[in-house]
Amino acid sequence: MLRHLHLTPTLTVVIGLLVAATAGLVLAVQAITSDRVAREMGAELVTTGITALRREFTGQLDNIEEQAAFISRAIKTGTVLLEGDEGLGAFTFGSLAGTPQVSLIAIIPAGASAIVIQRGADDGVLVTARVPRDGLPAALGTPDKWEGGREAFWTPVSYRAAMDQSLVTYILPVWKDGTFLGTVAVGVSLDLLSAFTARISGENLKVYLIYDDTHLLAHPDLLKVRPDRSVRAPMVPLDQAPDPFLRAYGSMEILEASHTLPERMTLRVGVSDTGERRLLVTEVTAEEFGALPVTVGSDFPAAYLEHSFDELYQALLMGIAMLGMSLVGAALLAHSIAKPVRRAAESANRVAGLDLEHVAPLPPSPITELDSLARGFNAMVAGLRAFNRYVPKALVEKLLAEGRAEAPPETRRVAVLFTDIAGFTSVCEGATASETANFINDHLALIGGQVRAHGGTIDKYIGDSVMAFWGAPEEIDNPAEQAAHAALAIARALKEDNRARAARGLQPVRLRIGLHVGPLVVGDIGAPERVNYTVIGDTVNIASRLESLGKEIDPGAEVIILCSREVAGELDRDIGIADVGSQQVKGRGQAVDVLRLLP
């Protein structure tokens, strides 16, 4: 079964879906493109920044390694002799004094005691000492672990109680012509590393070093506090960091956006103690520290990186708002299109029912097609109204009800009624043409109203006379009875109208009515260009003659209704009937049994 849809919601949904699909596609493309651009720009910004920081640290480490290489070359070339304490001590002192980023330098000749120069923890004063091999600082490790080796390396972090500092040290073996000469050790304290992070950090940007993702190697805030450190705990754990933001490092969310960063970098997000959302970027830099698990970290306000994402979200919100406005516009457009179409459909249904009196004209429309529809529809209704004045409406309604557009002639048993005004000339005497026309129109309207009310079809108006019939186009079981009731109703209506006329000082109207029932040919009769739906046959002639006979039976009657015995035989007993007798009517050889219906 075909499912019918309403025009307004259908148009709204269809137009809305098209608008939504188009806008959604544009928004999706914009979102994907903008998101990719934003992520790539953010990743580029982060990568550039953290790489610059790593290079800064690398530069510091390079200075340490270059200092160790310088001392190694001096030893190899004999610029400094390992045997003399005074010359070796002076050389080492000068080397440390010229490198403020270094905390400790030790020269350890093969099989001999070491010269160690270190900075004081508080005053920075350089202290020189000759240290036996078994008394070397823990930061240097034990000689058996590195003496005789050929590769340079960084030692793990260790605590030096004499300096009250934790250090990480670069160890460089010195060889010449296959002979091991000794070892050069250059160490840097975590305090010096923290001082460096403080110099390159800013108001909203903090830079630090994280050790093995569990401890804080260097941080600007380490200079503001004196953390408890010992040989067993040379570094501060991250969950005890002086920076509240870093304490939550282990539980920070790793952002998905980090997939746009290089593999060695990770992007995390957290909240500072002031409630500020901050991003943390880390990069593993073990290659600079040898085997040490050191990570460069930097945190900054999330707004620096998420500004572009905020703009993207704002653009998406604006796009969604515009989409909503488009959908509202689509609904209004659908309503504006559907409204005249709906009115046309309602009016068309009225036209189909020939209810032309209640069909309002369609208004003009700015849409060309709808305007053409309105003009064409209004012209059609005007034409139908004109035709309706000349075509019996009841006949057309019955044909339409039966689903027929034409009625081929056929034989039916039909009751025919004729009416005529007696003394029409005297009634209209002295009246103008307009007054006469108005009188006839009112009289015919009175007759026609009762005919239609009792299911009859008006065949034609003949001057002041009316011809009507029952039993076609729809079949009726007892057409004579309905015709008789219509005749009696006409009589009652006429008498009431005469009382109104008398009140206005007008003379009454006298009416003759004739009724007969019998077989007739009924259907479309006429030429192809002009067809009438009518009845023809002897039954029509007899009904007409009975109407004319009234002026002989009772010429002064206000209303006289004469019918044949065929009609009277089919009437209810409630209807009053008087036998007039057998009468000879004009044009018929046999006499007709005539009866009079008593209103």
- Give the CATH number, domain containing residue 454: 3.30.70.1230
Is 379 contained in some domain?
no
Three-state secondary structure call for residue 68: helix
Is 282 contained in some domain?
yes
Same domain, yes or no, for 401 and 256? no
Is 352 contained in some domain?
no
Return d(Cα 181, Cα 219) in angstroms, integer: 37
Same domain, yes or no, for 85 and 190? yes
Same domain, yes or no, for 335 and 464? no
Determine if the peptide bond prior to 392 is cis (ω within 30°).
no
Nearest to 16 by CA among 336, 366, 332: 332
Strands (E), 285-437: 294-301, 410-422
Is 374 contained in some domain?
no
Hunting for tokens 């009975």 — which residue is that?
A: 546
Q: Are 217 and 236 in contact (CB under 8 A)?
A: no
Is 51 contained in some domain?
yes
- Using the Cα atoms of residue 544, residue 545, residue 551 and residue 554 in order, give the sign of their dihedral: negative
Strands (E), 372-509: 410-422, 457-462, 465-470
Same domain, yes or no, for 286 and 411? no
What local confidence, expressed as pLDDT, does residue 401 receive? Answer: 64
What local confidence, expressed as pLDDT, does residue 38 receive? Answer: 47
Angstrom CA distances, 376 to 339, 340, 478, stand at: 17, 13, 44
Type of residue at 48: T
Same domain, yes or no, for 428 and 517? yes
Give, to the nearest 10 degrees, the angle between helix 368-388 and helix 302-352.
20
Domain count along the chain: 2
Residue 5 Ramachandran class (φ > 0 left, ψ -120 to 50 alpha, else beta)? beta
Q: What is the CATH number of the domain that holds 186?
A: 3.30.450.20
Same domain, yes or no, for 272 and 399? no
Host H or E run for residue 562? strand 559-564
Q: Are 346 and 330 in contact (CB under 8 A)?
A: no
Same domain, yes or no, for 314 and 197? yes
Among 283, 311, 346, give the residue marking a domain's end.
Answer: 346
Three-state secondary structure call for residue 382: helix
Return d(Cα 308, Cα 36) in angstroms, integer: 11
Type of residue at 332: L
Angstrom CA distances, 147 to 109, 171, 175, 208, 471, stand at: 10, 10, 11, 32, 133
Angstrom CA distances, 361 to 11, 338, 370, 393, stand at: 24, 16, 13, 21
Return d(Cα 21, Cα 18) in angstroms, integer: 5
Q: Are 498 and 529 in contact (CB under 8 A)?
A: no
Q: Are 393 and 354 in contact (CB under 8 A)?
A: yes
Structure tokens at 470: 């029952």
Q: How many helices (H) and strands (E) does the chain have?
A: 13, 22
Three-state secondary structure call for residue 416: strand
Per residue, the 3-state secondary structure of 158-222, as one string, reads EEECCCCEEEEEEEEEEEECCEEEEEEEEEEEHHHHHHHHHHHCCCCCEEEEEECCCEEEECHHH
pLDDT in tens, the chain (599 residues): 456 666 667 766 777 677 767 766 766 666 565 555 545 555 565 666 677 767 777 777 788 888 888 888 888 888 777 776 677 777 877 777 777 778 888 888 887 888 888 877 665 677 777 888 777 776 676 777 777 778 888 888 888 777 778 888 888 888 988 888 888 888 888 888 888 888 888 777 888 888 888 888 888 888 787 778 888 888 899 888 888 888 888 888 888 655 566 777 888 888 888 888 888 888 876 565 666 788 888 888 887 666 555 565 666 677 777 777 777 777 777 777 777 777 777 777 777 666 667 777 888 878 787 778 778 878 887 777 766 666 666 666 666 666 665 667 889 999 999 999 998 878 888 789 898 999 999 999 999 999 999 999 898 999 899 999 999 888 888 999 999 999 999 999 999 999 999 999 888 999 999 999 999 998 888 777 677 778 899 999 999 999 999 999 999 999 999 999 999 999 988 899 999 999 988 877 789 999 999 98
Is 533 contained in some domain?
yes
Same domain, yes or no, for 90 and 239? yes
Task: Residue 136: give the domain boundaries.
Answer: 1-346
What local confidence, expressed as pLDDT, does residue 27 receive? Answer: 63
Is 385 contained in some domain?
no
Nearest to 215 by CA among 249, 266, 191, 189: 249
Same domain, yes or no, for 59 and 159? yes
Type of residue at 289: F
Pairing of strands 165-176, 158-160: antiparallel
Type of residue at 415: A
According to DSSP, the residues that pair with 180 across neighbouring strands are: 175
Nearest to 560 by CA among 568, 569, 551: 551
Same domain, yes or no, for 209 and 318? yes
Is 388 contained in some domain?
no
Same domain, yes or no, for 400 and 321? no
Q: What is the value of pTM for the model shown?
A: 0.48
Same domain, yes or no, for 412 and 330? no
24-59 CB burial, b ≥16 within 10 A, e <16:
eeebeeebeebbeebbeebbeebbebbeebbebbbe
Structure tokens at 92: 């080492």
